[in-house]
A and B are shown apart, each in its own frame.
Chain A
């Protein structure tokens, strides 16, 4: 079969700043990628139908969209909902996949993808933090994490602490657990996040958001301890599997 590689739409503009490495990570997993400015998509009227027809994956990269001045990711979420009028749930139901990394995850949360009772706020320490963490997938729901064990990834955020509305905490959490949405946890506790959650997926497992940066660990030489084993310098990094999983899934969904 000679059909072209599945395509990824990587959104950029207005303070998003991880678009290049996010596109490169998808390319390393054999995707074709387009980095497009949010305003261009709005101007040319990229509808949900066109998005579904053209792109197997939508990626919301990390950064500080609109300066994060009205809580993180909020303006980006509003633009996607009200200007582009994309219903990401419908996109996923039609076979599309979505990843939101760091600021992109914050935007997915603001859109209510993981329910109205989920929010994200400043790290417990009250500071921006760039460090490496170990994260472990739980359950088999998330299409992006299939077959993966514990991996090392960097976090680089000031607002990564997931919260559940306190009044409905246990029922909300139980429901999310049951649906397999609580799909990624930190091994430690870097930011005070609810139940050490590092990432969430929606009930279809196709929309995935996480605070750590899988696109920043595509090469083994990005690891903070790689020089201890120079023989492995050419190996891929742990993050690549996330994008390769999406590729396998995208081929299946055609």
Chain B
């Protein structure tokens, strides 16, 4: 149970701060509290079930959950990732009365694949981690028949000790289901005394014993291999098909998955609904004999669900299971004794009061001290600085190097190994592809995935994510704001609705932290990230519907006999899911036609601090002249609401005047433009404004900025619409047939005498972006 997120925290900040000095639980104040301030009629269930549940329409609901599977993936990347996926799939199967998993979203944070320093003992090279994880996702996702429609890869040396493996799944279910006359609402869970406790799916083995406790410790060279569970996607697929059939026949009353803690937590959780439970664990089917009673109770062997089956339905339930090749262990019954009684061959082995089970955790108190870390720096140039190269001579090489950065380069090698179209719902894929199936086929990145879950309806779901751990080095508050903003920008690009009364936009948070307990600075990072998240979610009116945290992402071991400690940077993954009323209005990031006008949409208040540019330049930026006063991009939520309400409002979506929209994130404006150009192979003629530092303009990163295109005929109407509404924009160029990206300073003379300060062939841009992406 959220020990750290429920802790009482004493927060100290030497500066002025909107964060209170005493925090009565971060979960209560910044996560659940944020959602409570954003009442939405479409929120059906938040933070109580296995996943957050939102209404899709009158008939159906969707749900979403994102998990992390970091520690197992460090030891056994294949097993860890596979189990991560099938595990979060089970959260969806066990959500409400059982939902059908309809999409996966996977985000991996690993050390760079070209890591060449000596590895600490027992750690795997990032390439081995990535390859294992890739195979795990391929088997876990593809074999389960669930499309992987969205994802991200983030590289940083500090993920060497523990990679972060985020696995998310979305589900779809009828808002009412069950036998005629006995329908239940999907967000309600009931268990009655006398209901049978049935475990279905896989058998219990010794794998995954103490998986949960092991994951909650720092990784070291004593970490046990048996803590990694082993998943089998086909056993689970059988169980999943069976469950959805049994749900529609009304053969069970409640369901949950067996994840962390095994039966102890699945039965323990459900027992609260009836008021008690009695099971005999010797009745559980096992992989092999010889398991001790406590092992049966806490094993995290996979593919298992626990159900409450009314006694009158047991026979039908068992017979359907048999026909579907699914094993059922009838372990006992739910009671109202207030106790969780566990027997083995009829003899009592444990008897716990439910109160103790659920409320027995003493409350933690933590100190948080902000100020030890540098505040947002503002660095002004002075004469002591070393001159950085001129934009004219270095910008083309800088763009190519940025495009080749693992964080930016093509992920096509990975994406194509995942099935992203199974279930026949695909509308916007992870990549847009020009001339598919021909020798000239070329793909570029899209910002988010869109699917159409119902054949009978044009409505769809958009799924995107935001993650920006680089900013944690400046301020985790800003990092969290940025993750939220990026996730929302990504879904907006593809066509999410925003700011309308009926707009459905939900967020999921996943914190992966270095252990904050006993470390006031790391605790302050966590506090600041939570308040940054709260600030951004409230500003964008996007409630949090589900979340998860992983708080021990540290490695303690040895390298060449010397002790070594590696902790991940504070990392927050935000996942955004939005409903769209008509998938036919979707957009992709690619520039569509020669002559189209290219705009920056948004104020483009960007900075080089915390950017990929900064990661690439080997000198500290504050020792270099010519980069202007160094800044970090900051949010302006009022402006964001204005821009997003236009993009996601009626006019921005309906008239198709905006032919492409791409988020400006890693690598800044020029990187975003290059990404929009490379698939179709057009060129662009761009103007770099004279009133801005060109490095910052081209490669700065920040908030609320997009690259948009429209046809020349529509541009006037669009500009006057933006002028009227106060949506900031800047016309920076046109798409051209010559396949070069050319940049002119200030103006381009119509007589053709201007010389571009930067000129790159699209082929060069493509090969930079593709080459480093194909590392395998």
Using CB atoms and an 8 Å cutoff, list the residues of chain A in contact with chain B. Answer: 12-15, 17-18, 20-21, 24-25, 27-28, 37, 39-40, 43, 62-64, 66-67, 69, 127-135, 152, 154, 156, 186-188, 213, 215-216, 218-219, 221-225, 227-228, 230, 233-234
Is there contact, CB below 8 Å, between A39 and B234?
no
Closest residue of A by beta carbon distance from B435: A225
Distance in Å: Cβ of A232 to nearest Cβ of chain B: 10
- List 4 A-B pairs, minimum CB-CB distance, nearest first: A17-B145, A21-B424, A134-B437, A132-B436
Is there contact, CB below 8 Å, between B432 and A156?
no
Partner of B419, one of A127, A130, A222: A130
User: Are A221 and B452 CB-contacts (below 8 A) given A18-B145, A67-B234?
Assistant: yes
State whether the Cβ of B542 lies closer than 8 Å to any Cβ in chain A: no
Is there contact, CB below 8 Å, between B586 and A37?
no
State whether the Cβ of B426 lies closer than 8 Å to any Cβ in chain A: yes
Using CB atoms and an 8 Å cutoff, list the residues of chain B in contact with chain A. Answer: 138, 142-145, 232-234, 237-238, 241, 323-325, 415-429, 431-439, 441, 443, 452, 455, 583-588, 590, 592, 656
Is there contact, CB below 8 Å, between A24 and B419?
no
Is there contact, CB below 8 Å, between B429 and A224?
yes
Q: Whole-angstrom distance between the alpha carbons of A67 and B82 in the complex?
A: 14
Chain B positions within 8 Å of A223 at CB level: 436
Is there contact, CB below 8 Å, between B323 and A227?
no
Distance in Å: Cβ of B321 to nearest Cβ of chain A: 11
Partner of A224, one of B234, B436, B455: B436
Is there contact, CB below 8 Å, between B144 and A17?
yes
Closest residue of B by beta carbon distance from A234: B584
Chain B positions within 8 Å of A224 at CB level: 429, 431-433, 436, 443
Distance in Å: Cβ of B467 to nearest Cβ of chain A: 24
Chain B positions within 8 Å of A14 at CB level: 234, 237-238, 325
What are some 12 contacts across the A-B interface (CB < 8 A)?
A15-B237, A15-B238, A43-B323, A127-B417, A128-B138, A129-B417, A131-B433, A132-B433, A186-B437, A221-B583, A222-B426, A224-B436
Is there contact, CB below 8 Å, between A218 and B424?
yes
Q: Whole-angstrom distance between the alpha carbons of A187 and B145 in the complex?
A: 27
Distance in Å: Cβ of B24 to nearest Cβ of chain A: 47
Between A62, A64, A152, the greatest number of chain B beta carbons within 10 A of the residue's beta carbon is seen for A64
Is there contact, CB below 8 Å, between B234 and A128?
no
Q: Whole-angstrom distance between the alpha carbons of A13 and B443 in the complex?
A: 35
Chain A positions within 8 Å of B142 at CB level: 64, 128, 156
Is there contact, CB below 8 Å, between B436 and A225?
yes
Is there contact, CB below 8 Å, between B241 and A20?
no
Closest residue of B by beta carbon distance from A65: B234
Chain A positions within 8 Å of B419 at CB level: 128, 130, 156
Is there contact, CB below 8 Å, between A133 and B437?
yes
Chain B positions within 8 Å of A27 at CB level: 455
Is there contact, CB below 8 Å, between B416 and A187?
no
Closest residue of B by beta carbon distance from A18: B422
Q: Whole-angstrom distance between the alpha carbons of A135 and B429 in the complex?
A: 21
Closest residue of A by beta carbon distance from B241: A13
Chain B positions within 8 Å of A233 at CB level: 584
Q: Whole-angstrom distance between the alpha carbons of A130 and B418 in the complex?
A: 7
Closest residue of A by beta carbon distance from B412: A131
Closest residue of B by beta carbon distance from A16: B145
Q: Known pairs A17-B423, A18-B424, A221-B584. 13 more at Cβ < 8 A?
A: A12-B241, A14-B237, A14-B238, A25-B424, A64-B143, A66-B234, A130-B416, A132-B441, A152-B436, A152-B437, A156-B142, A188-B439, A221-B586
Distance in Å: Cβ of B128 to nearest Cβ of chain A: 17
Is there contact, CB below 8 Å, between A188 and B237?
no
